Amino acid sequence: MAALTDLTLTETVKGLRTGEFSSMELTQAYLERIDQLEPKLHAFISLTPDKALAQAKAADKRLKSAGDKQLPPLLGLPIAVKDVLSVEGIRATSGSRILENFIPPFSATAVQRLLDAGVVILGKTNTDEFAMGSSTENSAFGTTHNPWNLERVPGGSSGGSAAAVAARLAPVALGTDTGGSVRQPASFCGVTGFKPTYGRISRYGLIAYGSSLDSVGALGRSAQDLAELFSIMAGFDKLDATSMDLPVPDMHLNADVDIKGLRVGVPEEYFIKGIQTEVEEAVRAAVSELENLGAQVRQVSLPHTEYAVPVYYIIAPAEASANLARFDGVRYGLRVESEDIIDMFKETRGSGFGSEVKRRIMLGTYALSAGYYDAYYGQAQKVRALIKRDFEQAFEQVDVIAAPVAPTTAFTIGEHSGDPLSMYLEDVFTLPANLAGIPGIAFPVGFDSDNLPIGMQLMGSHFQEETLFRAAHAYQSASDWHTKAPAVG
């Protein structure tokens, strides 16, 4: 029999239901694997074995009680949660010293819905500080290593979640995506990751970065697994003012999903100079595979793509500068005592925030300041509308858009960390979906000559997540890239 930690979410839930193994055995198997591999990977900021075992024990009790007919759908399933999402009673650092000892008194809605569905929480995964980054190198708690090659970054900012899923430290993990932070690490670590439409999954309890861009997503081993999580997490929440009150499809994907006639658009602007040849080849081959499965492929144009990086790197820091104003030594987290209150603010923020966060607070404050607002923030908002319109026009012709997730496979730790601009340019293909608020799913479609995973993303029209899950699932039913595991440990 395969090791328990090799099972997918779907297989795990089935095994728990049929009594093949208990949640205790399963949780212990994950905790042992974490013990063994965590020193190499550093995927977690906090581990919560005692709580996990207590949750597993309670789950087993319910699983065994014959009278409990209406068992919650994920009862006994272990998961990992990115450390920017609040879980009641478990430290949430957001990868920052300023929140090093912050214990949220409530759980994020997305987390609460999963807890209500019966999950067991193994721990909180590593992230760039306040989710600002593309490599997990900006975490105040050390860098996560890519399980495919320990000298490479796992991507970011949900790099801990991606590494954990790839290395089988958890069957699924929650992430967040403000500009690619679920899709890009999924791609770098060879796992599947989705970001929903803005407004689809509540942001309540997500420690805010860029509020008009932030979304809660998940990483896992297949589109099928993620569709289950999506159905549970999505839906209206009165605690998030931007949450949409729309019906959520209850998706249980099976092997014979048919994508005959699905119109797939390939945007010419995503195959630019500088893209790694092997990435382009693998993505084009995956598009051909979709065509073999019955899809109709055509070229589309998203002419404002090149402005996504400058637009995002004005809007996201601007929103961040406002969101992070609350970390002042009074309300949350760290306080550095000082003679007067202004010095207390300065010293708390000066020692609590890392350099990338400070850079963005300064950029954002500048972009919003009187005299510069129109030239930067105002202008960026106008161009953001053009990027959104590009997608609207493309989705008049096609159902999904297929593109690379990142121009390269996982880069080496340290390669971009001294040069913020070169790091920001890594995000060129993921930022547009956030600026437009549309959903996306990233999944593995091959490997490069260094045996590093290559990802492709499908983007869809607002609230058309089901189409994305179905297309990715059809691809995964006909291929096996998503089943490959790194030989770590």
Determine the interface stretch with ligand GLN among 2-10, 159-167, 173-181, 364-372 (rule: CB under 6 A).
173-181
Rounded to whole angstroms, how far apart are CA atoms 203 and 238? Answer: 11
Of 22, 181, 461, 477, which is the active-site residue? 181
Q: Does 283 bind ligand GLN (CB under 6 A)?
A: no
Judge contact between 228 and 251, C-beta under 8 A. Answer: yes
Q: Does residue 157 belong to the site contacting ligand GLN (CB under 6 A)?
A: yes
Q: Does 219 bind ligand GLN (CB under 6 A)?
A: no
- Considering only residues 71 to 110 of the shown chain, the ones binding ligand GLN according to CB under 6 A are none
- Token look-up 């400058």 returns 310
Q: Could you tell me the smallest distance in angstroms from the CB atom of residue 252 to ligand GLN? A: 29
Q: What is the DSSP letter of 104?
A: -
Structure tokens at 107: 């759980």
Which parts of 181-210 interact with ligand GLN (CB under 6 A)?
A: 181, 209
Q: Using the rule CB under 6 A, which residue among 427, 445, 472, 477 binds ligand GLN?
A: 427
Question: Judged by CB under 6 A, which stretch of 45-53, 171-179, 197-205, 293-301 contacts ligand GLN?
Answer: 171-179
* Gap between the Cα atoms of 45 and 122, Å rounded: 11
User: In which region does residue 168 sit, left (phi positive, over 0), alpha (psi from -120 to 50) or beta (all else)?
Assistant: left
Least Å from the CB of residue 433 to ligand GLN: 10
Residues 422 and 300: beta-carbon distance below 8 Å: no
310 by DSSP, 3-state: which? helix
308-323 helix and 379-397 helix, angle to the nearest 10 degrees: 120
Q: Which of 262, 316, 361, 368 binds ligand GLN (CB under 6 A)?
A: 316
Per CB under 6 A, does 143 bind ligand GLN?
A: no
CB of 47 to ligand GLN, least distance (A): 23
Q: Which long-range contacts (CB under 8 A, 24 or more apart) does 290-294 make?
A: 290/259, 290/262, 290/264, 290/402, 290/471, 290/474, 290/475, 291/264, 292/478, 293/259, 293/260, 293/474, 293/475, 293/478, 294/258, 294/259, 294/260, 294/261, 294/262
Q: Contacting ligand GLN (CB under 6 A), which of 146, 149, 161, 178?
A: 178
Catalytic residue check, 82: yes
**Active-site annotation holder among 23, 82, 195, 202:** 82
Nearer to ligand GLN, 180 or 190 (CB): 180
Nearer to ligand GLN, 167 or 316 (CB): 316
Question: Residue 470 and residue 353: Cα distance in Å, rounded?
Answer: 41
Is residue 136 near ligand GLN by the rule CB under 6 A? no
The stretch among 34-42, 75-83, 131-139, 255-263 that binds ligand GLN (CB under 6 A) is 131-139
Q: Residue 297 and residue 280: Cα distance in Å, rounded?
A: 16
Min CB(357)–ligand GLN separation in Å: 11
Residue choice 41, 120, 131, 257 for contact with ligand GLN (CB under 6 A): 131
**Nearer Cβ to ligand GLN (30/443):** 443
Question: 241 vs 204, 303, 324, CA distance in Å?
Answer: 9, 32, 19
Distances (CA, A) of 483 to 6, 73, 208, 486: 10, 24, 33, 10
Question: Smallest distance from the beta carbon of 403 to ligand GLN, in angstroms?
Answer: 16
For ligand GLN, the closer of residues 179 and 193 by Cβ is: 179
Q: Which residues bind ligand GLN (CB under 6 A)?
A: 131-134, 157, 177-181, 209, 316, 427
**What residues are annotated to the active site?**
82, 157, 181
